[in-house]
Structure 1
Amino acid sequence: NCASIPERSIESELFGHVKGAFPGADTSHQGLIEAAEGGTLFLDEIGELPLAAQSQLLRVLADGELRPLGTTHSRRVSVRVLASTQRDLKQEIAQARFREDLYYRLRVIEIHLPTLAERHEDIPALGRFLLARATQRLNRPPMQFTDSALAGMRNHDWPGNVRELENAIERAVILSDGDSIDANALALCEPEEMRGDVASVHPELSLEAYFRHFVECNQAHMSETELAQGLGISRKALWERRQRLGLERPRKARRK
């Protein structure tokens, strides 16, 4: 993943270095490209690769040679490179952030993976798969989506693509008490769609403290339906947790 490697380390990680190439290089290091000799190297988020590393990668693709840091001697390599990106590389080229010659070297075969917004009909099947995986990973009994949840997933634009869908489902699994997940549990509405100003919550609070803080700060101007929606749980689950925590709703608080 090119985005996860610090810029100062990316060249060493990809192309390797010899002992003494830079301070701290106490031993030689084989780069990922050389390690993939005779095989395939997948470069995720290629659009994040610094320009200096792009030049060296171009040499590998064009000439089949790489030069580890700290040496003047090139080495022959034979490796197949697959790359992916979420960026518009043509726009990156126009803004001088990606080399045009490298772009065409990489673009031998191009595969466009449509976003969830482009394939709403696939969302229910993908959602069920992610739900089964989440319940297994979180050691929860099998769960299923209600019709309202499936409709909500199909109608949502999912700007965060599959990762957003996966996170929404995992959150619903954690917060749901029953064996089904409805639209409220998925919390697909935007915060501005809920009436009233929602008080901020510190990100390091435990789940129980988060629940208590959210309810106590917002129940004066939010109904039970809105509170449940904001927490991503059903009204029944909200009532049960109130009882368990001894968190009764003040009489002056608005009801619905």
Structure 2
Amino acid sequence: MISVNCAAIPENLIESELFGHEKGAFTGATATRTGLVEAANGSTLFLDEIGELPLEAQARLLRVLQENEIRKVGSVQSKKVDVRLVAPTHRDLKQLVVDGNFREDLYYRINVMTLVIPPLRDRGNDILELADAILHRTYTRLKTPIMQFSDVAGRAIANYTWPGNVRELENAIERAVVLAEGNEIGEELLAIGNEPGETALESAQPSQPVTNELIEELSLEDYFQRFVLEHQDMMNETQLAKKLGISRKCLWEKRAAIWYSS
């Protein structure tokens, strides 16, 4: 299986990455390159965050699905491919179609079988089972003593809204395992909201007005991570980058640096 995150590739490079290019097709194309779709020939292409795919690339992908063939950027020849597509997204593709940001024909072409995975906040007691599994995996990987959550920590996990979903849960648990001095993880080590439905961002806000001095106490990484966690379900990559005052390429580079370092 070949896996690719559409949100993690700069818009001007995504067609080349997915479909490949010929030597000299554009400035910097010093050699022929095989695209990820062709690399997945005979297997599965996991196209993560397909809702972030530019319209031009959507047209090329539709051709792959309809004609079972690709054409590299800068080429006049087509090549047959046999690829199974799995395309997860956190975006509402129907709404993107209405807004003109996703091709209607591609939407109906990929909408063969739909699996809806609810966010952590809608999974009830399953959150605790998932947290226990992540905890076991984490202390095993870090070679620490066997650990368990306190009753209070368990209730905090169940009541928290988890705006960052599984990634936020994994990071909170790993941080707690690293900081724990005994075999039990308390609520304070998780560093999440203290009230049911409260987010970490809300619990971190001071009661007094925010001043420049308080803002400066946050590192750029902390501010970036908190902003993205709070807004990633409401904005696409382009909107997030615009709000942060950075390019889309810079956004995915900073996300990759923070998420993978954690």
Is 1:89 aligned to residue 93 of structure 2?
yes
Distance 1:158 1:204 in 2: 22
**Matches for 1:82-121 after TM superposition, within 5 Å:** 82-121=86-125
Secondary structure of the structure 1 residue equivalent to 2:125:
helix
Distance change >3 Å, CA 87–CA 145, structure 1 → 2: same
Distance change >3 Å, CA 192–CA 117, structure 1 → 2: closer
Distance change >3 Å, CA 163–CA 66, structure 1 → 2: same
Secondary structure of the structure 2 residue equivalent to 1:3:
helix
**Matches for 1:1-256 after TM superposition, within 5 Å:** 1-189=5-193, 190=200, 192-193=202-203, 196-197=207-208, 199-200=214-215, 201-203=217-219
Distance change >3 Å, CA 74–CA 191, structure 1 → 2: closer
Q: Which residue does 1:242 correspond to in 2?
A: none
Instruction: With the length of structure 1 as denominator, give the TM-score of the two structures.
Output: 0.75
Deviates further, 4-13 or 178-187: 178-187
Work out the percentage of aligned pairs sharing the same amino acid.
53
- What amino acid is aligned across from residue 203 of structure 1 in structure 2? S
Shift of 1:168: 1.4
Cα RMSD, aligned residues only? 2.0
Distance 1:93 1:9 in 2: 23
Secondary structure of the structure 2 residue equivalent to 1:129:
helix
Q: Which residue does 2:227 correspond to in 1?
A: none
Shift of 1:193: 4.5
| Residue deviations 1:61-115 (CA, integer Å, cap 9, x gap) | 0111211011111111111111100001111111111111111111111111121
Distance 2:218 2:118 in 1: 36
Where structure 2 has 5 or more consecutive residues not aligned to the other structure, the ranges are 194-199, 222-262
Shift of 1:152: 1.1
Deviates further, 195-204 or 95-104: 195-204
Q: Which gives a bigger RCO, structure 1 or 2 (Cα 8 Å, sep 6+)?
A: 2
Where structure 1 has 5 or more consecutive residues not aligned to the other structure, the ranges are 206-256
Matched residue count: 205
| Residue deviations 1:193-252 (CA, integer Å, cap 9, x gap) | 5775594534289xxxxxxxxxxxxxxxxxxxxxxxxxxxxxxxxxxxxxxxxxxxxxxx
